[in-house]
Amino acid sequence: MEFNNVNFDTYFKNYPNEEGYFGKYGGAYITPELKKAMDEITEAYFTICKSRKFIDELRRIRREFQGRPTPISHLERLSNYIGDVQLYAKREDLNHTGAHKLNHCMGEALLAKYMGKKKIIAETGAGQHGVALATAAAYFGMECDIYMGSVDIKKQAPNVARMKILGANVVEVTHGLATLKEAVDAAFEAYSREYKDCIYCIGSVVGPHPFPMMVRDFQSVVGFEANEQFVRMTGELPDAVTACVGGGSNSAGFFAGFLNYPVDIYGVEPLGRGTKLGDHAASLQYGEEGVMHGFNSVMLKDENGEPAPVYSVASGLDYPSSGPEHAFLRDLGRVKYDTVSDDEAIDAFFLLSRMEGIIPAIESSHAVAHAIRLAKQMKHGSILINLSGRGDKDMDYIIEHYADRLK
């Protein structure tokens, strides 16, 4: 399928290019020292990860440890409640550890093992990536340092406890807004010091090349599985697919399975409290081109051109940029990006819980809210939601802030 002069039959061969660019977005804006480390990872990725041995081992891990393939559920009661459009969910909440993050963590940690690294390092926002990486570290017997902002440590206490139980070292980051951006800054700094013995396992399709490509490729299992399962289940493709976008990993992997098909694709960003800078984290909607964390993409900027403070009720979505591939797909028009506010996401959180018996992560609730809005506009057809994670990690926050809705 061709779309605005991009041939999607050969898309994964051509995007990103050798320097890690999706059009003008991507690349590696880092020190020569770190560039050497990234080149080592790129080289290892293309040799090790494409080998039969690696592919077979990762497939076995996905099947026997992660519980893949995850199912697709027909959200029948919710669909009937809204109208005639049929809603479905790809259940990444049922992936081991409760979110999609484990898909790339097991891939990255397996690569680290093949490269002879003894330690893995990363940042985390909602704690899902941290838990997934701590899980991978325990599975492969590696040391693991997770950098996390103090605001998120407080908000996501159960995930902090899980990381510690799994044997990871949680490093608190206190500067700035003390959320995801600062955690990435601190993890990168640590990696620059320790790169010879460890590997940085980034939590999304962001950072310098090869991370946006590598994380997308590991996550694409979700999209390819979902395409095949949906057709087997219903006899046709979904009319639309939708996923939430923070850094953009669950969406990039999910979209990968549908880019080359006649399916409308939607990415959903967090509108938080509103459109004012500082009240949301919708970088694809309101950002401009800019470089941060070693890659060129869209970015929400303050008056000095620095990454602006961002906010979302979902810790995993409050990042001032998005992966370069998303910026590219947005410019191309192949994926449409929309926003959902905190209030809409929380309403969807309770609706899905009460109509389907599925408690979603607040991040994933953004995609659910968007699908509900879309279903009302479409009148008929089908929508497949990527339910990127479950809401267990959000229980304390919901109990504290939405006690009135629990009566």
Ligand X SMILES: Cc1ncc(COP(=O)(O)O)c(C=O)c1O
Which spans of this chain sit near ligand X (rule: CB under 6 A)?
99, 125-126, 128-129, 204, 244-251, 316-317, 361, 363-364, 388-389
Contact between 322 and 268 under an 8 Å Cβ cutoff? The reply is no
Instruction: Answer yes or no: 388 catalytic.
Output: yes
| Contact predicate 314/345, CB 8 Å | yes
Instruction: Indicate which residue of 92, 123, 182, 269 is catalytic.
Output: 123
CB of 215 to ligand X, least distance (A): 8
- For the bound state, the minimum distance from the C-beta of residue 283 to ligand X, rounded and expressed in Å, comes to 11
What 3-state DSSP class applies to 266? strand
Nearest partner of 67 among 149, 115, 135, 4, judged by Cα: 135
CA–chain centroid gap for 10, Å, is 24
- In the complex, the smallest distance separating the C-beta of residue 98 from ligand X, rounded to whole angstroms, is 8
Strands (E) across 211-309 are located at 240-244, 264-272, 288-292, 295-299
- What is the C-alpha to C-alpha distance for residues 229 and 68, in angstroms, rounded to an integer? 12
Taking the C-alpha atoms of residue 96 and residue 162, their distance in angstroms, rounded to an integer, is 13
Q: Which position has the token pair 């570290």?
A: 137
Closer Cβ to ligand X, 198 or 361, answer by number = 361
CB of 319 to ligand X, least distance (A): 8
Q: Hunting for tokens 């680290």 — which residue is that?
A: 112
- Residue among 194 and 392 whose Cβ is closer to ligand X: 392
> By C-beta, is 126 or 358 nearer to ligand X?
126
Buried-exposed string 367-398: b where 16+ CB fall within 10 A, e elsewhere? bbbbbbbbbeebeeebbbbbbbbbbebbeebb
Q: How far is the CB of 193 from ligand X (least distance, A)?
A: 25
In this structure, is the dihedral angle defined by the CA atoms of residues 117, 44, 35 and 222, taken in order, positive or negative?
negative
Nearest distance from C-beta of residue 235 to ligand X, angstroms: 29
* Structural element, H or E, at residue 73: strand 72-74
> In the complex with ligand X, which residue's Cβ is closer, 28 or 368?
368
In angstroms, the CA 254 to CA 205 distance is 12
- Provide the β-strand partners of residue 385: 89, 242
Residue tagged active-site, from 79, 90, 92, 101: 101
382 is catalytic: no
Contact criterion met (CB below 8 Å) for 152 and 183: yes
Contact 134, 167 (CB under 8 A): yes
Report the residue number, 113 or 325, with the smaller CB distance to ligand X. Answer: 325
Q: Which is nearer to ligand X, 126 or 369 (CB)?
A: 126
Nearer to ligand X, 133 or 351 (CB): 133
Q: Which is nearer to ligand X, 218 or 230 (CB)?
A: 218
| Min dist. Cβ of residue 384 to ligand X (A) | 16
Q: Which of 220, 249, 364, 388 is catalytic?
A: 388
Q: Helix, strand, coil: what percent of the chain each, to 5? A: 50, 20, 30
* Nearest Cα to Cα of residue 382 among 233, 217, 191, 186: 233
Least distance in angstroms from the C-beta of 228 to ligand X:
21
101 classed as catalytic: yes
Alpha helices by DSSP H, listed for 245-304, are: 249-256, 283-286
Dihedral sign for Cα atoms in the order 118, 189, 134, 364: negative
Instruction: Please report which helix (H) or strand (E) contains residue 346, including its range.
Output: helix 342-356
Catalytic residue annotation? 101, 123, 388
